[in-house]
Amino acid sequence: MGNISKMWPFRRFPRLKVLVIGGVHLDTIIDVNNLNISTDPAQSNYTYYSSGHTIHSIGGTGFNIAENLARVAFSAKKEVGLYTILAKDSAITRIIRERLIGTRIYRDYVHELDYATSDTTAGGFVGVRDTTNARAAKTIRVAATDTPVNQTAWAANAAERAKLEGAIKNAEFIVAESYIEVNSATAIINFCEKYGKPLFVSLTSERSGAEFLSRAALAKPAYSISCRLSDLHAFSINGGFLSKVEGEVAALGNLLRSLKTTPGAVTGDADLGPIAKAICEALNAKHVVCADMQSLAYAFLSVAPPDSGSAIVKSFDDNIVARANTEGNLTGVRDGLFASFIHLSYRPKYDPTSKLQANLELTEPETQRRAMELASRYTGPIAQSRAATPGAVVSFAEQPVPWTFTVWRYLVLINEAAPLLFWALPILFLVSAGLLAWLGVVLDLPSPTEWRLPDWSKLRKMLGK
């Protein structure tokens, strides 16, 4: 019934603060002790078997960023929207929708496609971690991912393209991941340029990041780009499109790795300005968020007109490192870090004419303090969670459903059916009246002129006594 109400042509979608476009899928993390993976071609046929521990959770870059922003930055129910594609009639899709109900994410842009006609499957992410030592236990050694938003040219469909355009037009700014089908990614970039929407881009992999940036270079600069240090390094070597700033990327990498032994340290080196400016301009972005999960350090880079750059380079707080090295998870920390930078950028009380800061001057003490505070606020709960976002772990065991969740689910269904009832009840009344008139049934109802208010005089006398 809720889905029928969403199809009603007079339904109006709320104006969102942020629209996140990206994948949502089932994450499967496998912890293996003494992982032995050989890169020797002579052992290419070698099959490795080992017992391990498996964790299932809801993940995906789009979901991770949207859930973080909805949980921390925006308290209203309809401020953070998620635009994604799911496989129709899939058990995993039902699990994802159940998880979305428990968040503040606006879900009406979550669409389902029939795999029989669109080759769309549920997708997923599988990662293998080595639990031999504490630090390596939280770093993915081998991984493979597949998501519906990258499987098919969903934006090529006229109806889906119109939905995408309307969703982008209806939001204040856009966050998109790079692992999206190329034609659909181009449509996102074009619509952002058409309606003047600031675009935040998360480069989820080296290949998809390069493809996305090659298209984004034809449009206006992105507001912010999030990437791994390893991706920056890959873009800068062997004739990559960042080859002109290979020296700056190497210098940034050395600085991040130097913080590995000093948790919580922060550097404000004066030489960071030219490095930040060169990398931002090479990526065609106003800001760059770079994380290195090997050294557990990160960098916020910014370029401000007319000709200056600024940066914050910091290692994660020691309590976050301690949590991550015990029972925590690092796969979602980078998405949480990017969400913290988006939160930092969204400061309406400082700029009433624009919801986003045109350029962040990262050398200002107040900006640095708030940037580090938000980074800890977002990444702390993720570092101690077993999933990429807090509370996203999925249990397939048969467990009793709490009555509070059942009540909440029915309330959500009633809320989604309200627009349908608003239009259906008057129509049902008119149809019933016409049917009764056709049957010759006359209802003896009092004329409006005969209506009288109740006589309260006797009650007043009784109360007076």
pLDDT tens digits, residue range 373-414? 888 888 888 877 778 888 788 766 545 556 666 676 677 777
| Mean pLDDT of the 163-178 span | 90
- Give me the number of domains the chain comprises: 1
Residue 448 lies in a domain: no
Terminal alpha carbon distance of the chain: 55
Residue 81 lies in a domain: yes
Q: Residue 392: its pLDDT value, please?
A: 80
Residue 169 lies in a domain: yes
SS3 state at 141: strand
Q: Residue 4: its pLDDT value, please?
A: 42
Residue 412 lies in a domain: no
State the residue range of the domain holding 23.
2-36+50-403
Q: Kindly state the DSSP code that residue 123 receives in the 8-state scheme.
A: -
Residue 410 lies in a domain: no
Residue 354 lies in a domain: yes
Higher pLDDT, 198 or 394: 198
pLDDT at 37 over 50: yes
Residue 119 lies in a domain: yes
Percent of the chain with pLDDT over 90: 8
Residue 70 has a CB neighbour count (10 Å cut-off) of: 24
What is the secondary structure of 367-381 as a DSSP string? HHHHHHHHHHHHHHH
Calpha distance 324→376 (Å, rounded): 13
Residue 460 lies in a domain: no
Min mean pLDDT across 24-38, 43-57, 144-158 is at 43-57
pLDDT band at 20 (very low <50, low <70, confident <90, very high): very high
Q: Residue 141: its pLDDT value, please?
A: 72
pTM: 0.77
CATH of the domain at 21: 3.40.1190.20
